[in-house]
Structure 1
Amino acid sequence: MKKFFTIIGGMGTMATESYIHLLNKRTPAHADQEYLNYILVNHATVPDRTAYILDHSQPSPLPSLLEDIRQQNQLGPAFFTLPCNTAHYFYDDLQAAADVPLLHMPRETVKEIIRKFPNAKRIGITGTQGTITDKVYEHEVLAAGLTPVLPTDEIEAETMALIYDNIKEKDHVDPVLYHRILRQMIDEQGADIVILGCTELSLAQEREPETQIPLVDGQSVLVDRTLELALKMREA
């Protein structure tokens, strides 16, 4: 296979499935042959990213992710995507190991905010405790000259319950909990816009859409950037 890219997924599997679904849905295809060429590495047994970020005595996901990158290098993809926000904690190591570009979802998400919401200054960040702790979105927001707005401990506890207890464990989205988290980021924390900084939250948005609050979904942005690069590659 030529002119393809590789998706390093499985973190978690249902979130990766949501990314693939959106990617295929947005591809302008009218025949089988018009869809994109890609390889999905659904590495479901990669150790938990948040557990390691919070406690380095826990198993590190990095060796597994590096193994995936190095194996795929041998096949010659044009680029990599990583549809897991928390895994971007390891971005520099993964990009260093990759022979081709690895899309940076948080960075692309902040670029999208600047394009779509030029007047937004206070940027709410939601995600796993690992994503909040490693500041991957916070750094990108600050680098853009904007103000990051973080969840309180209570909001973060609710977010972790939604991600882990509802979605990862039960494949269920609690709509009341999901919408309350977003509303609190606007009403209580004073954010102008909220980043969905976890692909499980992207899955929640897909199933129980929030239409009243200004959002930027990191996974949706990654889908659009993936599609943009893949179509250019195919036409080259």
Structure 2
Amino acid sequence: MRHFFSVLGGMGTLATESYIRILNQRTPAKRDQDYLNYILVNHATVPDRTTYLLDHKQQNFLPDLIEDVQQQNLLKPDFMVMVCNTAHYFYDELAAASDVPFLNMPQETVRALQKRYPQAQRIGLAATQGTISSQVYHKYIADAGLTEVDPTPAIQEKITRLIYQSIKEEQGAVDPTLYHEILSDMMRDLKVDVIILGCTELSLAQELAPNHQYPVADSQSIIADRTLELALELRRA
């Protein structure tokens, strides 16, 4: 197979399915051969990212992901993309291990946010506690001259409940009321201009419950668009 890319997924599986689904839906295709060539690595047994980031005595997930990158190197994809925000804590290490370009979801999200919401200054970050505490997005938001606004403990509890109990434990059973409540709380209590959905489970919630008026920058939707753009460029080359 020529002109293909590798997707490091399974963190979690239902969120990865959402990425693949929207990627395929947005691909301009009228026949089978118009779709993109890709390899999906649904590595569901990667240790929980937040668990490690909150307590480094727990099992580190980096060795599993390095192994995935090394295995994909042997297949010689055009580029790699990893659909898990929290795992980007180790972006530098993974990009260094890759023989090909390795897309950066937080960086791409902030870039797209600036284009879509050029007047935004206060950026709310809805994400796992691991992403928040390890400041996965902080550098990219700060480098853009923007202000990151993290959830209050009360809002973070709701985010964690939506990610782990509503979606992960209930196999994608998104609670739309809870999701919309989180967005409302962040806009009202944190006085933010736009909210980054910095967890792919929240992206799944956005896919399944998009009927709200709150401005969001959906990291998974954005990285799907960037994946599609780059894959089509390489196909035409």
User: What range is the shorter-chain TM-score in?
Assistant: over 0.9
The one-letter amino acid of 1:115's match is: K
Alpha-carbon distance in 2 for matches of 1:101, 1:60: 24
**Gapped runs of 5+ residues in structure 2?**
none
SS of the residue 1:39 aligns to: strand
Matched, 1:230 2:231: yes
- CA contact under 8 A between 2:180 and 2:212: conserved in structure 1? no
The one-letter amino acid of 1:74's match is: L
Alpha-carbon distance in 2 for matches of 1:210, 1:187: 18
The one-letter amino acid of 1:177's match is: L
Q: CA deviation at 1:138?
A: 2.0
Q: What corresponds to 1:22 in structure 2?
A: 22
Alpha-carbon distance in 1 for matches of 2:37, 2:69: 18
Q: Give the aligned length.
A: 236
Alpha-carbon distance in 2 for matches of 1:210, 1:194: 15
Q: What corresponds to 1:51 in structure 2?
A: 51
Q: What corresponds to 2:11 in structure 1?
A: 11
Q: What corresponds to 1:206 in structure 2?
A: 207
Per-residue CA deviation, residues 115-159 of structure 1 (Å, 9 max, x unaligned), is 111100100100100010111112211110001111001101110
Alpha-carbon distance in 1 for matches of 2:82, 2:13: 12
Q: CA deviation at 1:2?
A: 0.8
Per-residue CA deviation, residues 151-182 of structure 1 (Å, 9 max, x unaligned), is 00110111001000110010211111111111
SS of the residue 1:188 aligns to: helix
Q: What corresponds to 1:122 in structure 2?
A: 122
Q: What corresponds to 1:192 in structure 2?
A: 193
Q: CA deviation at 1:211?
A: 3.0
Q: What corresponds to 1:102 in structure 2?
A: 102
Q: Normalising by the residue count of structure 1, what TM-score does the alignment of the two structures yield?
A: 0.99
Alpha-carbon distance in 2 for matches of 1:49, 1:168: 14
Give percent identity, aligned residues only. Answer: 59
Alpha-carbon distance in 2 for matches of 1:210, 1:177: 13
Q: Normalising by the residue count of structure 2, what TM-score does the alignment of the two structures yield?
A: 0.98
**Gapped runs of 5+ residues in structure 1?**
none
Alpha-carbon distance in 2 for matches of 1:220, 1:192: 19
Q: What corresponds to 1:83 in structure 2?
A: 83
SS of the residue 1:6 aligns to: strand
The one-letter amino acid of 1:34's match is: D
Q: CA deviation at 1:16?
A: 0.2
SS of the residue 2:75 aligns to: coil
SS of the residue 2:63 aligns to: helix
Alpha-carbon distance in 1 for matches of 2:23, 2:202: 17
Q: CA deviation at 1:210?
A: 4.1
Q: CA deviation at 1:213?
A: 0.6
The one-letter amino acid of 2:149's match is: V
SS of the residue 1:181 aligns to: helix
Alpha-carbon distance in 2 for matches of 1:158, 1:62: 28
Alpha-carbon distance in 2 for matches of 1:113, 1:11: 23
Alpha-carbon distance in 1 for matches of 2:217, 2:113: 7
Q: What corresponds to 1:146 in structure 2?
A: 146
SS of the residue 1:227 aligns to: helix
Q: CA deviation at 1:8?
A: 0.3
Correspondences of 1:64-83 after superposition (within 5 Å): 64-83=64-83
Alpha-carbon distance in 2 for matches of 1:38, 1:125: 30
- Deviating beyond 2 angstroms after TM superposition, the runs of 4 or more aligned structure 1 residues are none
Alpha-carbon distance in 1 for matches of 2:55, 2:106: 23
CA RMSD of aligned residues (A): 0.7
